[in-house]
Chains A and B, each alone.
Chain A
Amino acid sequence: MTVHPPPAAPQPTPASPERRAFVGRLWKGLGILAGLELAWVTAAFLAPRKEGTGRAAALVVAGPVAEFTPASVRPFPAGRFYLVRLADGGFLALSSKCTHLGCTVPWNEASRTFPCPCHASTFDLRGEVLSPPAPRALDLFPVVIEGGIVKVDTSRRVERSRFEASQVTYL
């Protein structure tokens, strides 16, 4: 079936073609503006809300220094960190979150590594990357030793690219 175009109706010539074009553009602009406004409201509505400021009270009391033998690892599952005492007696609080994609790394006593169960990254006792794909050493939480008691501040996550001696806390 062929469609014939309807016979052209006599068009009334607009009084001012420039004005008509201007009003057309104005409407288009207003339409775009309304679209942007809706997009902005949606984005702002969906944006994550600010986290509470009551994070100062995240100090975990790990225990007296003498409880931790050198070259040992003790997990603190509630605080999501491992308290590591290095062979030289220094302390490190390693986040248990893999720096690759966020899986929780277990401690393997036999190989003395933290092997990630998701993409096979491994970390050593100091949190240093032994094999990729993890791009950075495990994050740290600040350790303070007050009156012979080890405390870990889990509210402050410290990112680092590699292990450095300055990160270790000594008695």
Chain B
Amino acid sequence: MPPRPSGFSNLVLHLHPRVVPAESLRFSRTLGLGGAALVLFLLLAVTGTLLLVSYEPSPERAYGTVQALVDEARFGALVRNAHHWSANGLVLVALLHLLRVFYRGGHLPPRRGNWWVGAALLLLTVASAFTGYLLPWDQLAYWAVTISTGMLQYVPIAGDLLLRAARGGAEIGPATLARFFVLHVAVLPIATLMLLAFHFWLVRKNGGVVLPAEVGDHAAPRGLLVPTSPGLTQREGVAALVVLAAVLLLSAVSDAPLLAQANPGLSPNPAKAPWYFMGLQELLVHLHPLFAAVLLPALALGLLVALPSLAGGEAPTGRWFGSRRGARLALGAALAGTLLTTLAILADEPLRRAPPWFPWLAPAVRSGLLPVLAAAGLVAAIAGLARRRGGSRQEAVQAAFTFLLAAVVVLTLAGLFFRGQGMALTMPWASPPTEPR
């Protein structure tokens, strides 16, 4: 008779199945991204709890308490840095996890429900990162939140109501800080925790990660099965330690930014959003705010939700990008997206400053509807081209998605590294011109 499992392995084996396919343990199958995200979430919970001890959520005190924490508390800076880097890491890892699942076909039925749960978790992650952004009450925080909440005013009909609801008034002030604080330390973490449990349960319910058909045979459809402990648990432990080491190392050498205290009378020049919103900020420079701030983000969300259904019920192949052809089509789409977006940004720079081409057209049409329709036409053309080249329906959807992904990446990089003073296009290595006062 085998020894009875201890209480701890009992718990672990409750989360995991008793045995797992040996094939699913391959690193390239998952890249360990989901596990890394969980480790970062736990690290955020621990460091966040520590920060909560010394932080006071009022505009008069917030900045001072953060400053005192960094300057005076033992390991205060380290804990704050670890929270900062874990948060940024979590947004990045969650995005990469989403891409891994997508390019491995993990979003297709029967895993579609869990894709939606994952999408909700991504929104919660970004919302957590963003609400945390305001809490230090420095210039970075104040202006990033001014811009982001300001976008709500362009929502048709309910815009003003939404803006005031988000800020707790017409302007950013004590009510905004109180709201963001409660969201950040209570509402969002609890919601995330509950959805995480659901996410993990669905992973198990759906039979784990997608495996290619050739892994198993008739007798053993999922190939060789190995005991979860130590096969999976040991790998998870090692991955967790690697993530922890990376965060601590980064926190030891690189400080989380803390600018001057928030000053409503002076915007930093340039005033930039956190990196995960930089693509959106770049878009806001080019397009009418109704489209850049409201319709396109809503469309992107809708696309994320609809992605599994667009493939028309094709089953996942369990291989990266579906097939070699799928990979080639995705690469072509990525190149096209990169090239066209770069050209569009460069071309718009002089056009934006010139007198408008069709002055009789409403700005929302001229610099909103028309460019968006043109982009939508391009996306449809990419999908059609992929179909013509023999791609399956899922591979065509994948190519179109990759085209958009490349566009978002280019927009983000342009905003992050190629925008200088006054958000003018510059090279990252160019020294900023001294502005006459």
Interface of B is mostly: helix
Contacts of B265 in A (CB 8 A): 77-78, 80, 96, 104
Contacts of A105 in B (CB 8 A): 267
Interface string of B354-383 (1 = CB under 8 A from A): 000000000100010000000000000000
Given A48, A96, A108, A132, which contacts B164 in the complex, CB threshold below 8 Å?
A: A48
**Chain B, Cβ-Cβ closest to A131:** B353
Given B147, B169, B288, which contacts A132 in the complex, CB threshold below 8 Å?
A: B288
Q: Is the CB of A117 within 8 A of B269?
A: yes
Contacts of A96 in B (CB 8 A): 265
Within 8 A of A (CB), among B158-199: 164-165, 167-170, 175, 179
Sample 10 A-B pairs with CB under 8 A, ordered by A number: A48-B164, A48-B168, A104-B264, A104-B266, A118-B267, A118-B281, A120-B285, A132-B367, A133-B289, A135-B288
A78 to chain B, nearest CB (A): 8
Q: Is A41 an interface residue (CB 8 A)?
A: no
Given A46-B165, A103-B267, A109-B436, A133 and B147 touching (CB < 8 A)?
A: no
Cα of A110 to Cα of B284 in the assembled complex, Å:
26
Q: Is B287 an interface residue (CB 8 A)?
A: yes
Q: How many A-B residue pairs have CB under 8 A?
A: 98
A82 to chain B, nearest CB (A): 12
Cα of A117 to Cα of B179 in the assembled complex, Å:
27
Q: Is the CB of A118 within 8 A of B367?
A: no
Q: Is B421 an interface residue (CB 8 A)?
A: yes
Q: Is B423 an interface residue (CB 8 A)?
A: yes
B198 to chain A, nearest CB (A): 21
Interface residues of B (CB under 8 A from A): 143, 146-147, 150-151, 164-165, 167-170, 175, 179, 264-271, 281, 284-289, 292-293, 352-353, 363, 367, 421-424, 435-437
Within 8 A of B (CB), among A92-134: 96, 100-106, 108-110, 115-120, 122, 130-133
Contacts of B285 in A (CB 8 A): 119-120, 133
**Chain B, Cβ-Cβ closest to A105:** B267
Contacts of B270 in A (CB 8 A): 117-118
Cα of A127 to Cα of B422 in the assembled complex, Å:
17
Q: Is the CB of B423 within 8 A of A104?
A: no
Given B146, B266, B288, B422, which contacts A133 in the complex, CB threshold below 8 Å?
A: B288
Q: Is A51 an interface residue (CB 8 A)?
A: yes
Q: Which of B170, B266, B421 has the most CB of A within 10 A?
A: B266
Sort chain A's interface into a size bin.
20 to 34
A118 to chain B, nearest CB (A): 5
Cα of A131 to Cα of B349 in the assembled complex, Å:
11
Q: Is the CB of A117 within 8 A of B421?
A: yes
Q: Is the CB of B353 within 8 A of A133?
A: no
Q: Is A3 an interface residue (CB 8 A)?
A: no
Within 8 A of B (CB), among A5-57: 46-49, 51
Cα of A68 to Cα of B38 in the assembled complex, Å:
62
Given B165, B167, B284, which contacts A119 in the complex, CB threshold below 8 Å?
A: B284
Cα of A110 to Cα of B422 in the assembled complex, Å:
14
Cα of A117 to Cα of B269 in the assembled complex, Å:
5
Contacts of A133 in B (CB 8 A): 284-289, 292, 367
Contacts of B435 in A (CB 8 A): 108, 110
**Chain A, Cβ-Cβ closest to B288:** A133
Contacts of A118 in B (CB 8 A): 143, 147, 267, 270-271, 281, 423
Q: Is the CB of B271 within 8 A of A103?
A: yes
Cα of A13 to Cα of B58 in the assembled complex, Å:
63
Q: Is the CB of B268 within 8 A of A117?
A: yes
Cα of A135 to Cα of B154 in the assembled complex, Å:
11
**Chain B, Cβ-Cβ closest to A103:** B267
Within 8 A of B (CB), among A133-154: 133, 135
A131 to chain B, nearest CB (A): 5
